[in-house]
Amino acid sequence: MNSSPPGDAPGEGRYGEAFFRPDRAGEAERIDFGALAYDDITMARLRALGAGPGWRCLDIGAGTGTVSRRLLGETAVASVLAVDRDVRFLDARPAPGLRTLQADVTAPDFAPGSFQLVHARFVLMHLSERDRLIGRFAELLTPGGVLVLSDAVDLTSERTPATPYSTAMRAMWQGLRATIGTDVSSVPSYPHLLRGAGLDHVAAEIHVPPLVPGSAISRFWADTWQRSREAMVATGLVDDAGIDAAARYLESDACAALSAGMLTAWGQKPQGPTG
Ligand SMILES: C[S@@+](CC[C@H](N)C(=O)[O-])C[C@H]1O[C@@H](n2cnc3c(N)ncnc32)[C@H](O)[C@@H]1O
How far apart, in whole angstroms, are the C-alpha atoms of residue 81 and residue 151? 20
Is any ligand 1 atom within 6 A of the Cβ of residue 63?
Answer: yes
**pTM for the full predicted model:** 0.94
Give the span between the Cα atoms of 222 and 245, in whole angstroms: 10
Which of 85, 149, 150 for a ligand 1 pocket mutation test, highest count of atoms within 8 Å of Cβ?
A: 85
The residues, ordered by sequence, that sit 6+ positions from 247 with a Cβ below 8 Å of its Cβ are 222, 225, 226
- For 14, the 3-state DSSP assignment is coil
pLDDT of 14 reads 86
Strand pairing category for 200-207 and 261-268: antiparallel
Span between the terminal Cα atoms of the chain, in Å:
48
Any atom of ligand 1 within 6 Å of the Cβ of 122:
yes
Distant-in-sequence contacts of 129-134, Cβ < 8 A, 24+ apart: 130/183, 130/186, 130/193, 131/193, 131/196, 133/105, 133/106, 134/190, 134/193, 134/194, 134/196, 134/197
Topology (CATH) of 27-154+182-209+260-268: Rossmann fold (3.40.50)
Q: Are 180 and 11 in contact (CB under 8 A)?
A: yes
Give residue-wise pLDDT tens across range 93-111: 999 999 999 999 999 999 9
Domain ranges of the chain: 27-154+182-209+260-268
CA 268 / ligand 1 centre spacing (Å)? 23
With a 6 Å cutoff on the Cβ, whether 123 touches ligand 1 is yes
**Tens-digit pLDDT profile for the chain (275 aa)?**
333 443 445 667 788 887 888 988 889 999 999 999 999 999 999 999 999 999 999 999 999 999 999 999 999 999 999 999 999 999 999 999 999 999 999 999 999 999 999 999 999 999 999 999 999 999 999 999 999 999 999 999 889 999 999 999 999 999 999 999 999 999 999 999 999 999 999 999 999 999 999 999 999 999 999 999 999 999 999 999 999 999 999 999 999 999 999 999 999 999 977 54
Q: Could you report the per-residue pLDDT of 233-259, keeping only the tens digit for each?
A: 999 999 999 999 999 999 999 999 999
